[in-house]
């Protein structure tokens, strides 16, 4: 008996039966009724409310399995706004403003365009480092897969010929993956919770650029996980001290007693990609600092 005979499955594979069922030419009331469809090939059935736990499992497993097969051991996650323009798209934004309020907003967005370059630079540094451990790549860049800061992150990895991950979410308005995400590492989620879980399952460092509700959601959940001991501490870099101190009074939280003063040490303010990568390299004692 050969090794092949010992290891090959004895049962007919689901894919084979799915092809057989698809090719069937029987046309009877029984075969045409939805009840006759194979359960795993019946989209209407899988989308029923009662099947939500199964869909949770599918969204968890698909991304996990494909990342594992791609040899990705850990990630550098980059969060940030989908609205900050790249430097080459700032021209005319201020002039197009119709009111003083719009002009102020446009000026502030233009001022933040520098973070596009910093996110791109950080992704380049992490990707160029090329850390491998146990045969798997470490610090693979991972973003939300969308535009702006997310695009910059994936673009930085592409600049140096390395793969990067994009975790998109289905939204009422279209959000296609940016063109720099590695195609076989571009994922789409229905559940925010499962998407956020995948952001952190492999994260070994997180860079948080100025952003809105989504960025806040992801950042504060990360802080909560570490604060409560549900997750080990990792380097967390907040880009733009002026922005963050303006929109969140971290010191006041400690002064009010709702967080411990030591919690303010869970993250670091940085201004440049080189500064952020230095903190990551020092934390992990990486050879490429």
Residue 192 clears pLDDT 90, i.e. is over it: yes
Task: Round the average pLDDT of the chain to a whole number and report it.
Answer: 93
What percent of the chain has a predicted confidence (pLDDT) above 90? 78
Across 230-242, average pLDDT: 97
Across 278-288, average pLDDT: 91
Residue 3 clears pLDDT 70, i.e. is over it: no
What is the per-residue burial (b if ≥16 Cβ within 10 Å, else e) of 233-266? ebbbbbbbeebbeeeeebeeeeeeeebeeeeeeb
On the 0-12 / 13-18 / 19+ scale of CB atoms within 10 A, 82 is middle
Residue 17's pLDDT band, with cuts at 50, 70 and 90, is confident
Residue 22 clears pLDDT 80, i.e. is over it: yes
* Per-residue confidence (pLDDT) for residue 11, from 0 to 100: 85
The conformational region for residue 229 under phi > 0 = left, psi -120 to 50 = alpha, else beta, is left
Across 169-197, average pLDDT: 93
The one-character DSSP state at 244 is H
Across 263-284, average pLDDT: 97
Across 202-222, average pLDDT: 97
Across 108-117, average pLDDT: 95
Start-to-end C-alpha separation, the chain: 54
* Per-residue confidence (pLDDT) for residue 289, from 0 to 100: 64
- The Cα 64–Cα 164 span in angstroms is 15
Residue 144 in 3-state DSSP?
Answer: coil
Residue 2's pLDDT band, with cuts at 50, 70 and 90, is low
Residue 1 clears pLDDT 60, i.e. is over it: no
The vertex-178 CA angle with 156 and 70, nearest 5°, equals 70
Residues 83-105 have pLDDT tens digits of 999 999 888 889 888 999 999 99
């Amino acid at each position: 008996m050969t090794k092949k005979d010992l290891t090959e499955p004895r049962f007919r594979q689901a894919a084979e039966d799915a092809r057989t069922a698809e090719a069937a030419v029987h046309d009877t009331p029984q075969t045409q009724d939805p009840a006759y469809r194979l359960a795993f090939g019946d989209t209407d059935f899988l989308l029923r409310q009662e099947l939500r736990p199964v869909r949770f499992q599918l969204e968890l497993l698909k991304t996990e399995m494909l990342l594992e097969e791609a040899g990705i051991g850990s990630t550098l996650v980059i969060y940030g706004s989908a609205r900050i323009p790249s430097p080459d798209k700032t021209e005319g934004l201020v002039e197009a403003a119709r009111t003083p309020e719009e002009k102020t907003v446009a000026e502030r967005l233009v001022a933040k365009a520098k973070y596009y370059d910093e996110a791109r630079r950080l992704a380049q540094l992490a990707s160029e480092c090329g850390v491998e451990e146990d045969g798997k790549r470490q610090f693979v860049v991972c973003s939300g897969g969308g535009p702006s800061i997310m695009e910059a992150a994936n673009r930085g990895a592409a600049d140096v010929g390395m793969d990067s991950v994009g975790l998109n979410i289905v939204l009422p308005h279209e959000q296609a993956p940016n063109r720099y995400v590695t195609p076989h590492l571009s994922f789409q989620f229905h559940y925010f919770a499962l998407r956020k879980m995948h952001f952190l399952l492999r994260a070994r460092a997180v860079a948080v650029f100025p952003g809105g509700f989504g960025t806040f959601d992801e950042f504060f959940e990360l802080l909560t996980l570490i604060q409560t001991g549900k997750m080990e501490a990792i380097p967390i870099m907040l880009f733009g001290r002026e922005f963050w101190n303006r929109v969140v009074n971290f010191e006041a939280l400690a002064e009010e007693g709702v967080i411990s003063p030591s919690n303010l040490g869970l993250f670091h303010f940085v201004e440049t990609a080189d500064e952020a990568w230095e903190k990551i390299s020092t934390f992990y004692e990486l050879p490429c600092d």
